[in-house]
Amino acid sequence: MYDDTCRFLAEHFSADFASWLLGKPVTMTELKPSELSLDPIRADALILLESDESVLHIEFQTLPKNNIPFRVLDYRVRMYRKDPTKPMRQVVIYLKQTSSELVYQTSFTMERTRHEFDVIRLWEQPASLFLQYPGLIPFAVLGQSLDAEETLRQAAQRMDRISDPVTQANLMAASGILAGLKLENEVIYRILRRDIMQESSVYRSIWREAEEEKTRAIAINLLRRGVAIDIIAPSVGLSIEEVQQLQQQLNESPQN
């Protein structure tokens, strides 16, 4: 849910992300992982943005994972194969504060190979930075501030001044979703207008995806327990074919 929200923001407000991460407001288009001959490892946390001058690779992570440094190297090598002349800025952005040492990893090292990338820990970035750009406003509440609730209130005031109702609704929804990493729902809905949030297409699609993900997770757990497919399907609201696909994925998983 949080990854999908971040990907939506980066895709629809690429110039704001370029201003933040590249230092200039370049309009960028999304580069699909398939263009790098890469099967998205469910490209949930990934966004690749490309301009005539460069490529921006962003990995959004709620919590750290051990395989991130290698993933970053893998994307860089594949992009080099596609276009060895184009520079690539790679940034891993951690959303939720943690004491894990993994959020300080900025390189992948293997024998005589070393690849470096950038890491941004949002809780160390001043919240005021994100209030400067419309597409970054939803990150403000996760930034460094003395009072996260007051920061969300400032973000709401900033969004109230956005004239386009669709943009306003989408940013309001994204802000509400990301604020859930730091604040209680009661606080969020007291500050943000819930009616505007729920009108947003991004809000509806992300919550729908989250519900579908829960349904699939339940089905997979039942498959692992040996429950028959024809019992699982009507119980969780999936078709026989969809549960069979989940069974196939489960059988092919190296963890299984």
Statement to judge: residues 83 and 116 lie in one domain: yes
User: Total structural domains in the chain?
Assistant: 3
Statement to judge: residues 94 and 19 lie in one domain: yes
Structural domain including 225 reads: 204-252
Residues of the chain with pLDDT under 50: 40-43
Q: Encoding tokens for residue 4?
A: 């999908």
How confident is the model at residue 99, as a pLDDT?
Answer: 93
How confident is the model at residue 216, as a pLDDT?
Answer: 85
Statement to judge: residues 191 and 212 lie in one domain: no
Q: How far apart are CA 227 and CA 141, in angstroms?
A: 43
Q: For residue 64, is it left (φ>0), alpha (ψ between -120 and 50) or beta?
A: beta
Q: What's the 3-state SS for 51-97?
A: CCCCEEEEEEECCCCCCHHHHHHHHHHHHHHHCCCCCEEEEEEECCC
Statement to judge: residues 170 and 56 lie in one domain: no
Q: How far apart are CA 58 and CA 241, in angstroms?
A: 34
| Residue 61 CA to its chain's centroid (Å) | 7
Statement to judge: residues 85 and 158 lie in one domain: no
Asked, for residue 179, whether it belongs to a domain, the answer is yes
Q: Which residues lie closer than 8 Å to 52 by C-beta, 6 or more apart?
A: none
Kind plus residue range of the DSSP H or E element containing 47? strand 46-50
How confident is the model at residue 42, as a pLDDT?
Answer: 44
Asked, for residue 129, whether it belongs to a domain, the answer is no
For residue range 212-231, list pLDDT tens digits in order: 878 888 999 999 999 999 99
Statement to judge: residues 143 and 34 lie in one domain: no
How confident is the model at residue 41, as a pLDDT?
Answer: 43
Statement to judge: residues 169 and 186 lie in one domain: yes
> What's the Rg (C-alpha) of the chain?
20
For residue range 172-216, list pLDDT tens digits in order: 999 999 999 999 989 998 999 877 777 776 677 766 767 787 888
Single out the residue of 88, 89, 92, 66 nearest to residue 79, CA to CA.
88
Q: Are 142 and 126 in contact (CB under 8 A)?
A: no
Strands 46-50 and 55-61: antiparallel
Judged on CB neighbours under 10 Å (0-12, 13-18, 19+), 146 is exposed
